[in-house]
Structure 1
Amino acid sequence: MAAKWTAFPYDDTDYALDAAALKKRWTRLHAGDAEPWPKDAAVVEAWALFHAGEFKKAVDAGLKAGGDGLTVANKAQAIYANYLEKSEKAKLELFLEVAQRAEAQAAAEPTNPNAHYLMAYALGRYSQGISVAKALAQGLGGKVKGALETAIRLAPKHADAHIALGAFHAEVIDKVGKLLGKTQGADAATGLKMFQTALKLNPASAIARVEYANGLVMLEGDKKMKEAERLYAEAAACEPADAMERLDVEMAKAELED
């Protein structure tokens, strides 16, 4: 694990919630990952740390709690690696660690959708880091796609798994073309449908809009630029409910400025 973690950079909004407040807002906060309310108080505490942007503490607390705490630890580490880790080498190591832990969790709890989803998310981000073509050559594409499809089968309302699967189809076609993409099971129409479903499932999601915009540009090119810009603008205007959503919104704002 990276020696020194970068702190959550926005202190203008307080995302700290006690257990009662967290329970009240749980459905809204977990519209993306469909995670059920935890039975264990230690896991609730780990989630509170996650939502507040205390990602390192959330990882430690989740690992210590064990059981469902693993899901918090894996999500906190994956989100931290994606948005805040500055070293490319450390980022890839963090993603691999999450993928390995989530794969073990999925083997132990095959009906846990977020074990499959977080393995796929971490491997997907790792693949982007080493290059999608290289990842496909290593057979990671099939692993990511299979895990996401499993997550959706287990939790049909898992908006984030739909986003990630949409991104898989778009990334593969963007990097290797439609013909070779077919051999990896990638299909443009399926990808676009995944993004649309995700937005229906989680209408408040900034990241659904950002990834949909990215996917449109990858699959349709410049002719979809206007629509992509509209989606980025909508994402930038979303009201973040926690630290992770704040990072999504800030990313959308950065995309608009580019």
Structure 2
Amino acid sequence: MAKWTAFPYDSADYQYDLAALKKNWARLHAGDAEPWPKDEAVQAAWALFHGGAFQKAFDAGLAAGGGGITVANKAQCIYANYLEKSEKTKLAMFLETAERAEALQAAEPKNANAWYWQAYALGRYGQGISVAKALAQGLGAKVKGSLETTIKLAPKHADAHIALGSFHAEVIDKVGKLLGRTQGADTATGLKMFKDALKLNPASAIAMVEYANGLVMLEGDKKMKDAEKLYADAAACTPVDAMERLDVEMARAELED
């Protein structure tokens, strides 16, 4: 496998030994509601992920199997989304994750994150090839269905609420409200999902960023001030791991544009 681009910021603050990982687990996983793993190899893979060693976390997760597959899926998706330079490689990584997540659903149908990472990967893939093209391929229904299953299995899964809000916003933005309805997308549900995500995980920079994007997509330029306030709040968040640092840096970049 080609060498992945290294995490570009100082990761000293995000290094967790297994005792610190357990102690901070609830905060580190406020977004994805992932339960504490019993397997030490999986715990070690998570420590690598939070410290920004995404490729090592991916390899360790695959090697651990079981709960480690979720670490591998998250590491590959976050890396592809934020750090992979090649569009072709990025799309291939999303498809690979989606396939792995689908296999995990078959083995563990009640594993909420098996559904979530399939939806996340297919959603990002769809954005990459164009939302209209993704909808024509039937990916919209798959993303929406998997996110709804995630929330049914883990009602406090804040990240699934964010992603479902983004689904509604993206579809309406790209194909309009009327056609959006045929995809099961509507403005009120989208806005509610973003609000629920922030209630579940108030410290989430990515929830603020996606809510800001969604507000403008769903309600237009009249919400630009609200969106800018959300970006500013996101940029001011204190990240507790490498992924959150990437979210905060993205918010800062948006503010500068």
TM-score band by shorter chain is over 0.9
The answer for the alignment partner of 2:77 in structure 1 is 78
Is 1:48 the equivalent of 2:50?
Answer: no
What is the TM-score of this pair, normalised by structure 2? 0.99
Partner of 1:133: 132
Determine the C-alpha separation between the residues in 2 that align with 1:202 and 1:134.
Answer: 32
Residue number in structure 1 paired with 2:146: 147
Q: Residue 101 of structure 1 aligns with which residue? A: 100
Runs of 4+ residues deviating >3 angstroms? none
SS in 2 for 1:161: helix
Q: TM-score, normalised by structure 1?
A: 0.99
Percent identity, please: 82
Aligned length: 257
Q: Structure 2: any 5+ residue segments left out of the alignment? A: none
User: How much does 1:195 deviate?
Assistant: 0.3
Match of 2:112 in 1: 113
In 1: Cα distance, 2:114 partner to 2:3 partner: 26
For 2:151, give the aligned amino acid: I
CA shift, 1:13, in A, is 4.0
Distance between the aligned counterparts of 2:3 and 2:50, measured in 1? 20
Structure 1: 5+ residue runs without aligned partners? none
What per-residue deviation string (whole Å, max 9, x for no partner) do you get for residues 182-218 of structure 1? 0000011000000000000000100000000000010
Partner amino acid for 2:28? L
- 1:7 CA drift (Å): 0.1
Find the counterpart in structure 2 of residue 182 from structure 1: 181
* Partner SS state of residue 89, structure 2: helix
1:251 aligns with 2:250: yes
**Cα distance between partner residues in 2 of 1:14 and 1:36:** 23
C-alpha displacement of 1:180: 0.3
Q: CA deviation at 1:11?
A: 1.5
Q: Distance in 2 between matches of 1:234 and 1:141?
A: 30
* 1:14 Cα offset (Å): 2.8
What's the offset of the Cα at 1:239? 0.4
State the superposition RMSD in angstroms.
0.7
Map 1:232-247 → 2, pairs under 5 A: 232-247=231-246
Contact preservation (8 Å) 2:11, 2:242: no
Q: Say if 2:11 and 2:51, in contact at 8 Å, map to a contact too.
A: no
Amino acid at match of 1:21: A
